[in-house]
A = this chain, B = another copy of it.
Amino acid sequence: MPDKVLLILQVLYANAHPSMSHMSPDFASVFGDCICMTRQILYSEDAQPFLIAGSGTLGWDQVSANLVEPGENALVLHSGYFADSFVDCLQTYGANVDQVKAPIGDSVKESDVETALKSKKYKVVTVTHVDTSTGVLSNIKGVAEVARRVSPDTLVVVDGVCSVASEEIRMDDWGIDIVITASQKGLGTPPGLSILVASQRAMKVFQNRKTPITSYYASWKKWLPIMRAYEKNSAAYFATPPVNLIYAYHTSLRQIVQGPISLEDRFKAHKNASRRVKDAAAALGLRCVPLSEDVSANGMTAIYFPDGLAASDIIARLLKKDVVVAGGLHASIKEKYFRIGHMGATAVDIERGDIDRVITALNEALAEAKASKA
């Protein structure tokens, strides 16, 4: 069996680990390692990871229920579908939310962020690093720089569900307070684990909150002692962790952090893969949803269908060639585009040949679709 296939099987095999007690010393040490390696991926020395059974969405609840007190202001930078949902979540927990909206295919300009942050006192500013609905990449380093300069008390919250481990994120150097993510994208683990990392600055804001925390399951007051105990390789109980998934996450983290290539080379590999897919699309005369290279994600590509063709012409043909792509998600353009994921093993393990296969399939599917309309 080729080594590259083996890497993914190792993760799945770990997910089939015979169930262990979440209170056992063996599991405690695996959980502890996961906490440390999660921090490493975000280049942080002292931020506090929270690993909780749940979807990525649960990270929004954690921010809304632990950091933003009812009646406080939140600023949401809107670059696609996921900002709307984050707004909904923040409002559920009583925040007053303002938005700065970018046109479809663009990220919010830093000058607009600066204007907004100067206009009002915001507890948090949120930015979707890669919006899965549009493939738009936001400059989170730039957003954090603006926030630190013009509104130093505002916490910078990055939704990194679609970016962690495929785009560079340097929490400490860039001054980012919260990174929200999930197990199933760049981190290459089955879905079911909500991963959130909070800076010590954010933890101080949390410790100083005046009003009660507005969630039970997502309460950091409950989870912080648990995460601290497990990091010291000692078990503690609030709610049962997803034991098997933690084993799988551990295996995947070790491949990323201690694997044959460095984190830096991993990000380069994602850029290379992305460049190849986007060049191939351009050569076919296809237009991407992101308006420029600066705002294009490296772990996925969102492409408009050419005139006269639709999802039914392209997606099914790609599927027949064993290439699974996703349809549109952004409400305003839902029927007009499709999305190709190229993160994790697909981007990093060049010998798999995934990118070649995707490009060939795309060429063939497009030719066939056009021929069928001729």
Q: Which residues of A contact B (CB under 8 A)?
A: 8, 12-13, 15-19, 21-24, 52-58, 60-61, 64, 88-89, 92-93, 182, 184, 190-194, 212-219, 238-245, 324, 326
Contact = CB atoms under 8 A, between A and B. Distances in A.
Given A16-B15, A16-B16, A240-B184, A55 B192 contact: no
Contact of A240 (B21, B191, B244): B191
A12 to B, nearest CB: 4
A213 B22 contact: no
B53 A217 contact: no
Given A53-B191, A55-B242, 12 more contacts: A19-B191, A53-B58, A55-B241, A57-B239, A61-B217, A184-B240, A191-B240, A191-B243, A192-B192, A242-B242, A242-B245, A245-B245
The 7 closest A-B pairs by CB, nearest first: A192-B242, A55-B239, A57-B239, A16-B16, A89-B216, A190-B244, A12-B16
Contact of A56 (B23, B191, B239): B239
A133 B96 CA distance: 42
15 contacts: A12-B17, A12-B19, A15-B15, A15-B16, A16-B16, A22-B191, A53-B58, A53-B192, A54-B54, A57-B239, A57-B240, A61-B215, A64-B216, A191-B241, A192-B192
Contacts of A190: 19, 242-245
Helix, strand, loop or mixed for chain A's interface?
A: loop
Contacts of A24: 324
Nearest to A194: B53
A61 B62 CA distance: 13
A219 B55 CA distance: 14
A54 B57 contact: no
Contacts of A238: 57
Nearest to A64: B216
A324 B191 contact: no
B214 A214 contact: yes
Contacts of A191: 19, 22, 53, 240-244
A319 to B, nearest CB: 10
Contacts of A22: 191
A54 B53 contact: yes
